[in-house]
Amino acid sequence: MSTSSLNPDAREGMAPYAKSRTQVVWEQFRKHQLALFGGMILLAMYIGTIFSPFISPYGLAEYSTSNITRFHPPTRVHFFDESGRLTAPFVYATKQDLDPVTFAQTFIDQKDIKCPVQFMMPRPDQPYNLFFLIPTNIRLFGVSQPCNIFIMGADLYGRDVFSRLWYGAAVSLTIGIFAVTLSTTLGLIFGGIAGYYGGWVDNVIMRLVEIIGAIPSLFLLLTLTSVLPQDLDPILVFYGIIFLLGFIGWGGLARTVRSQISALRESDMVQAATSLGAKEARIIGIHMLPITFSLLIVNLSLGIPSAILAESGLSFLGKGIREPYSSWGSMINQAQEGGFASIIYRPWMLIPGFFIVLAVLCWQFLGDGLRDAFDPRKRQ
């Protein structure tokens, strides 16, 4: 007899439908409002990172040698003309001036030069490859010379902070994922080997973990990055920082994986696979490591913000990403060069710091939500 032919009373007495582990985890995760908020903000950030050349009105290192815009304040976009009528957005051209009292550099709007804000604006002088594949020069918005549109102001060299913020996001946000992926891979390999074989292999790996863990992370990173040549290509510096962050971050996960693999080594599942002639690599990779899957997800989500902060700290100290490339940490480095003047007269230079805090908080919220969703003791 099919289930549909049963009367309602009979159906009510039946056992409920068994949910898969994925469904249970997703239902628990949806109840964590901060995790959902963090996930949506991060999704928006990473989508913006993919389209960063398109979103940015200017190139990565673009600045003018004739129209100096050093520390230009955020450009005001006007939506009403002089008579008060609503019009298409436009900006005024600006010219530099010197405050006679404070001797501070200021910019004054030239009311006689008005430039409309153009959307889907072609920039033949600033081509790029969208998704690293499609050659184009279309920008989401922009203005023609002699006007400038600096949504978040300009930096020490007159470069657009808004554009460099998105280009820097491609470094600051992705370097954490790559570094934690590398450290997770190393932690799985060495932790799995140490837990399965034990003995002298376990001793050697755990002593290596203790040596790395005994050295303060920031001091170790500064020491290792100082070895990189000053004339090294910035792209190679990027890859070098990923390797260094991944190298010093695998110890904690290796300890956890080792303890779980050690507990599973004598289980019936492993003994049965061994008796059937399964190779050791297959036993570790197919039968034992997948059990740590939930641990890996939580480790990734909680380790990424640490890597973002580490990279930002290195770049802030001048040991990270090098010019002309940018990261949020290197942009904050420019802000601190001005001392209190950056806070009083150029507060827009501190905007990258806000995005660092926002990204780290969102990753923490996401990690907390995933940890609670995978932990049966915390399910609601």
Looking only at the bridges linking them, the beta strands covering 86-98 and 105-116 are antiparallel
- 17 has a pLDDT exceeding 60: no
Q: What's the pTM value of the predicted model, to 2 decimals? A: 0.82
Q: What is the per-residue DSSP string for 53-111?
A: HHH-SS-TT---SSS--TTPPPPPPEEE-TTS-EEEEEEEEEEEEE-TTT--EEEEEEE
Tokens linked to 161: 């902070």
Strand, coil or helix: 278: coil
Q: What is the model's pLDDT at position 3?
A: 47
Q: What is the model's pLDDT at position 359?
A: 93
Q: What is the model's pLDDT at position 2?
A: 47
CA–CA dist 109, 104 (Å, integer): 16
List C-alpha distances in Å: 369 to 36, 47, 70, 177, 378: 8, 21, 43, 18, 10
pLDDT tens column, 319-378? 878 777 888 988 888 877 666 767 777 888 889 989 999 999 999 898 888 887 876 655
List C-alpha distances in Å: 154 to 5, 109, 327: 72, 16, 15
- 6 has a pLDDT exceeding 60: no
Terminal Cα distance for the chain, rounded: 35
- 54 has a pLDDT exceeding 80: yes
CA neighbor of 73 nearest in space, from 114, 116, 113, 106: 106
**For the chain, what are the domain ranges?**
64-159, 163-378
Mean model confidence pLDDT for the chain: 82
For domain 163-378, the question of CATH label 3.40.1010.20 is answered with no
Q: What is the model's pLDDT at position 46?
A: 93
pLDDT (average), residues 145-166? 89
**pLDDT confidence band for 143 (50 / 70 / 90):** very high
Mention every residue, 6+ apart, whose C-beta is less than 8 A from residue 33. none
pLDDT (average), residues 54-70? 83
pLDDT (average), residues 25-39? 85
- 216 has a pLDDT exceeding 80: no
- 241 has a pLDDT exceeding 90: no
CA neighbor of 73 nearest in space, from 342, 353, 346, 335: 346
pLDDT (average), residues 191-216? 84
Lowest-pLDDT range of 124-128, 196-200, 203-207, 266-270: 266-270
Q: pLDDT: is 270 or 358 the higher one?
A: 358
**pLDDT confidence band for 42 (50 / 70 / 90):** very high
**pLDDT confidence band for 246 (50 / 70 / 90):** confident
Strand, coil or helix: 113: strand
